[in-house]
Structure 1
């Protein structure tokens, strides 16, 4: 499959009631997720800021975005978003990504610096390191489970038995689809591993040191997450001191900040979007 033959990412527009947005925000989810994970935040944000519209995107191999050829990398994921906005003849004034999507946002910004006012990076690992953390451990845990289940409820129970709390188990089970009377994984765990390995090995610090165009870069640190360690926080603050366009925000909550503390996420975006 050539680059031109890659599918268009699944997406959904969110606007305030009766509103005609003047600016658009791209929202990119994290690994194992989909655009709908951020749907509640998107809907509440456009009601508070009706001059903004939001495009919720399913990144490659997630949600309803399937049929993409490898390699499955940050660069390929950002190129998918490039193709989507070209297909829609769409110019976003801001892009926000969570975790894996946060790094995709930074790669995307490199190509769209002239039109972007802001880049939001929600609890992404900026340091280059060996894969680790909760998202990485999930891969082996899910591989150890059966490939299919009689019901979604039994899948949730199996994920909980593997050591995960109910909310996370239910969220992961969204990635199951009915097939021949049973439920099978819609996502490929080998592809997830490939995407996460690239996430951990890609160094994007230069984008913070020299933000593209005139864009501001806002880095959000979830206080109960280890995605950003103290050294990374220090480097973010140093970049901001040097160029005046990089900002660090600390929000109470864990890595899945959209479900842990949605009120704080909405308030921050509401108050800081141009």
Structure 2
């Protein structure tokens, strides 16, 4: 049975009693959250972290289509069962935020953390779609990683975005190519954009709590999104937080995000 690739972080000698599954954003990998996870479990040693490479990403094997959020959730739950480590809590960033909400609906973890992600249906587009077009226009092979970075920068993306995307390169046949399958990723993104998951937030399955963390310098969440989150808060199981920083909060404000999650976990 194929299962997603994972990174695990624990510090307790006897082993953690509870497990937090971390789901990265589109074009990311579990390792993007390694520093956050190490520091989190150092302060909360009763917890361990499982950092998952979602399907089509990182070192996860090829999975059969359809490539959907539901398929991602199935992969995570199959991984949990094969490890014998329940999803006691789940944290998802951006694309992974919607996946985390679907995990919450399926497995009712004690907590779900949604990091700068909207549950709303959206029109396809934005940076994720633009990067997919870049991958299609510049499939490689590239002589060096730097050549791939330069190709992304030439399309108008900042250097840090280009270097981050270059983590998806693999060396094949004397050159670097993208590990990502653009057609499969497009299928995954299309499902992400058309999903509306407000029902998970507005009627959370007990005893699960949902924590939304908004990045103060990000425009991912609309004013309507924020209003709906705050309206759901009186239920006592939905919590809205705001932190300074951009969309990649685990990079822009790692201390603030770690302290927030550690306090409530």
C-alpha distance in 1, partners of 2:252/2:65? Answer: 33
C-alpha distance in 2, partners of 1:82/1:17? Answer: 24
Q: Is 1:156–1:170's contact at 8 Å kept on the other side of the alignment?
A: yes
CA deviations over 1:30-67 (Å, ceiling 9, x no partner): 10011000000000111111111100110001001121
C-alpha distance in 1, partners of 2:143/2:199? Answer: 48
1:244 to 236, 243, 252: 236
Residue range with higher mean Cα deviation, 74-83 or 135-144: 135-144
- Give the 3-state SS of the residue equivalent to 1:70 in structure 2: coil
Q: Is 2:218–2:246's contact at 8 Å kept on the other side of the alignment?
A: yes
> Given the alignment of the two structures, is residue 21 of structure 1 paired with residue 16 of structure 2, yes or no?
yes
Q: Name structure 1 gaps, 5 residues minimum.
A: none
Deviation at 1:254, TM superposition (A): 1.7
**Regions of 4+ moved over 6 Å:** none
2:264 to 258, 266, 272: 272
Q: CA RMSD in A?
A: 1.3
1:1-274 alignment runs, 5 A limit: 7-16=2-11, 18=13, 20-113=15-108, 116-241=109-234, 243-273=235-265
CA deviations over 1:212-263 (Å, ceiling 9, x no partner): 120100011112222111100000111112x111111111222222222212
- Give the 3-state SS of the residue equivalent to 2:177 in structure 1: strand
Number of aligned residues: 265
C-alpha distance in 1, partners of 2:115/2:162? Answer: 22
C-alpha distance in 1, partners of 2:250/2:208? Answer: 23
C-alpha distance in 2, partners of 1:103/1:53? Answer: 22
Q: Name structure 2 gaps, 5 residues minimum.
A: none
Q: Is 2:135–2:178's contact at 8 Å kept on the other side of the alignment?
A: no
C-alpha distance in 2, partners of 1:228/1:76? Answer: 25
C-alpha distance in 2, partners of 1:162/1:68? Answer: 30
Q: Is 1:95–1:119's contact at 8 Å kept on the other side of the alignment?
A: yes
Q: Is 2:217–2:246's contact at 8 Å kept on the other side of the alignment?
A: yes
Tell me the TM-score normalised to structure 1 length. Answer: 0.93
